[in-house]
Amino acid sequence: MTTSTLHESGLSDLLENLVRNFLKEKLEFIMQEEIKHVLQLEQQSEGKKNYRNGYYERTLDTRYGRIDDLMVPRDRNNDFQTQLFEPYQRREGWLEEAVIRMYKGGMSTREVAGFIESMFGAQYSPTTVSNITGTVLEDVEKWQKRPLEKRYSVLYLDGLYVKLKRNTVESEVIYLAMGINEQGYREILGFYIGGHESANGWKDVLKDLYRRGAEEVLLGVFDGLPGLENAFKEVYPKADVQHCIVHKVRSTFPKVRVQDKTEFIDGLKTIYNAVSRDLALAAFQTFKGKWGKTYPKEVTSWEEQLSTLLTFYKYPDLIKGAIYTSNPIERMNKELRKRLRPMNSLTNMDAAEKIVYLEVLDYNEKWFRRTIRGFGDPVVQEKLTKMFEERYSSR
């Protein structure tokens, strides 16, 4: 080590000591003022005689280093408790927050424990890290029960599978529900983990959203899972259904011969890119005439779903890009998959809930008060409000 490096290291240590000493001094001053205030209040309001009773020493790990001899005042009646930290707290909340952030970033509990030990010298077992991240579960429960707004212009539904370890490792679904509210803001309304995706599973999800306050919905956007449309309509009978066109194209694409793919897909585009529903229906007839004999099952499948594939034509053109596909919620699912991919399997349901919740929280914070394109337009808002009134004013 060079003289210059030694000098820099010594200067750094000196600065750290100065900061720690300054912090210690200020913390002790605040606690002295706190106990003075507490004793005065007791004397004035309760007529209770209480006196200071010296100090006790304790350690406190801060982001600026460890304070080994922090002097905490005490009183004779043992009534005083500083508001700076909990009685048995040995660290500021920053380290717990850092643990949760590292865990969210993809590090295992064992990796987090090793990192903290190497950086701070603190002994953190994987179990301790798991207990710290476990505090998130309390927030998850509150978040899952939080009240929702009454009106959502759009409700997106989509599921993704994760490998979950119970007695054995199996793929289980995460049901994800996203909404665009009356003001045009997008958020994840809820997530539900477990089992295999089914219409009955989705019905339970929708009933929970309704129970939490989401009573009026204009449009549900989702893929063609058998029974899902009926489940949606049971809970929201006055809402429209938009089957995701992107999903439909994807499911059709593999069934078309290579030499026909480009022309076939271009034909489909003339349907859902038409300027009006009438022209879209006319485009479908042209498409059917060209491909009906070559691909009868595929064309019939489109024809049977055509009414729900073209629902978006009932809504303002400015929001077409947001409602004719479930891409917005799929992008969220893509981020979840990226986060979960490093793990071969999640150790239990709690681990899954913690990770998904932290990702969802970040997503909602990112989109908080950001109006989705088209939904902030005054003409669009007026049209959607009118649709709500027409469907739900008689309730």
Each residue's pLDDT tens digit, 356-370: 888 888 888 888 878
Q: Band the pLDDT of 385: cuts 50, 70, 90.
A: very high
Residues 6+ apart with CB under 8 A from 319: 372, 373, 374, 375, 380
Instruction: Tell whether the model's pLDDT for residue 147 goes beyond 90.
Output: yes
Q: Band the pLDDT of 65: cuts 50, 70, 90.
A: low
Q: Band the pLDDT of 116: cuts 50, 70, 90.
A: low
Instruction: Tell whether the model's pLDDT for residue 237 goes beyond 50.
Output: yes
**pTM given for the model:** 0.71
Residue 164 has a pLDDT of: 77
Instruction: Tell whether the model's pLDDT for residue 301 goes beyond 90.
Output: yes
Q: Mean pLDDT score of the chain, rounded to an integer?
A: 83
Burial code (b: 16+ CB inside 10 Å, e: under 16) for 83-120 equals eebeeeeebeeebeebbbebbbeebbbeebbebbeeee
**Closest C-alpha to 154, from 17, 27, 23, 324:** 324
The set of long-range contacts for 162-169, using a CB threshold of 8 Å and a minimum separation of 24, is 162/193, 162/340, 162/346, 162/352, 163/343, 163/344, 163/345, 163/346, 164/193, 164/194, 164/345, 164/346, 164/348, 164/349, 164/352, 165/345, 165/346, 165/347, 165/348, 166/348, 169/344, 169/345
Max mean pLDDT range (72-81, 198-207, 331-340): 198-207
More confident residue, 166 or 239: 239
Percent of the chain surpassing pLDDT 70 = 79
Residue 4 has a pLDDT of: 55
Instruction: Tell whether the model's pLDDT for residue 91 goes beyond 50.
Output: no
More confident residue, 168 or 307: 307
More confident residue, 290 or 393: 290
User: Would you kindly state where each structural domain of the chain is located, as residue ranges?
Assistant: 1-81, 92-145, 148-392
Percent of the chain surpassing pLDDT 90 = 46
